[in-house]
Amino acid sequence: MTGVALVTGGAGSIGRAIGRRLAAQGLHVLLADVVPPAEMPEGCAPEPLDVRDAGAIAALLDRATQAGPLAALVLAHGILRETPPLVLAEAPMREVLDINLEGVARVLALAAPRMADGGAIVTLSSVTAAMGRTQAAVAYQASKAGVESLTRSYAVALAPRGVRVNCVAPGYLSVPMAGDGAMLRARQGGNAALTAFTPFGRLVTPEEVAAVAAFLCAPGSSGVSGVVLPVDGAQRAW
């Protein structure tokens, strides 16, 4: 593969792992985030980005397309804040929806016209988007359900140009999310409690999620678009 790949949320464990995979496929990878990655995978370069700022998104896309055709876009950014059901937590709800859902919508709207024909877009959802039992993250779950809907809409809209748009839905990962992730996981009993929901008997890793995202960006998945693909150790099937 040739061209540029842009990964939002590039400082996170999944974003870095995806960047590493895409660079190994021959793409020039830009890892975009509000903070630089703690480690920079070979073949990747950092870019500052706040997905709440449409002007910053447009400027980054200008820089990306000057480096080459935008062949792949992976939207791996997201935050987790405590928002339990039956409680009106407006500030954290607005923050989660602004970044996780509206941030994806902003990037998609601005990046779609700049994607190279035949390119690939991958969004990141969560298996919790289809669950009701998660106790303290209703805004996060709602945002990810919205991301899945955006994925289907853009898959249809960009199909005439051969641009494929798919979604990866990780299960509970071996690494908690940044923000409130570690606190909420500890409150639920830690990794051991979550493993009980996983037929694999272990939690999936960021590298396993990255492998699937990279596949969906590669020519081998040329017939796949509009899908939500769980990477969850069979959690959704259980």
Give the number of domains in the chain: 1
User: How confident is the model over 196-215, as pLDDT tens digits?
Assistant: 878 999 999 999 999 999 99
- The pLDDT value recorded for residue 28 is 97
- The per-residue pLDDT for 190 is 77
Range of the domain at 18: 4-231
What is the reported pLDDT for 133?
Answer: 80
Residue 201 lies in a domain: yes
- % of the chain with per-residue pLDDT over 90: 82
What's the confidence (pLDDT) of residue 134? 79
Asked, for residue 171, whether it belongs to a domain, the answer is: yes
- Whether 76 shows a pLDDT value over 80: the answer reads yes
| pLDDT for residue 113 | 98
pLDDT per residue over 166-179, tens digit each?
999 999 888 777 77
Q: Which of 69-73, 89-93, 165-169, 184-188 shows the lowest per-residue confidence on average (mean pLDDT)?
A: 184-188
Mean of pLDDT over the chain: 94
Q: What is the CATH number of the domain that holds 210?
A: 3.40.50.720
What's the pLDDT at 174?
86
Residue 236 covered by a domain: no
pTM across the whole model: 0.95
Identify how many contiguous H helices and E strands the chain contains and give both numbers: 8, 7
Q: Does residue 237 sit within a domain?
A: no
pLDDT tens figures, 109-163:
999 999 999 999 999 999 999 988 877 899 999 999 999 999 999 999 999 999 9
| pLDDT of the residue at 104 | 98
* Residue 182 Cα distances to 31, 115, 125, angstroms: 23, 36, 19
Active site residues: 140
Structural domain contains residue 68: yes
In a domain, 221, yes or no: yes
Kindly tell me the burial class for residue 213, based on how many C-beta atoms sit within 10 Å of its own C-beta (0-12, 13-18, 19 or more). Answer: buried
Per-residue confidence (pLDDT) for residue 193, from 0 to 100: 77
Tell me the per-residue pLDDT of 6-61, one tens digit each, with 9 for 90 and over. 999 999 999 999 999 999 999 999 999 999 988 999 999 999 999 999 999 999 99
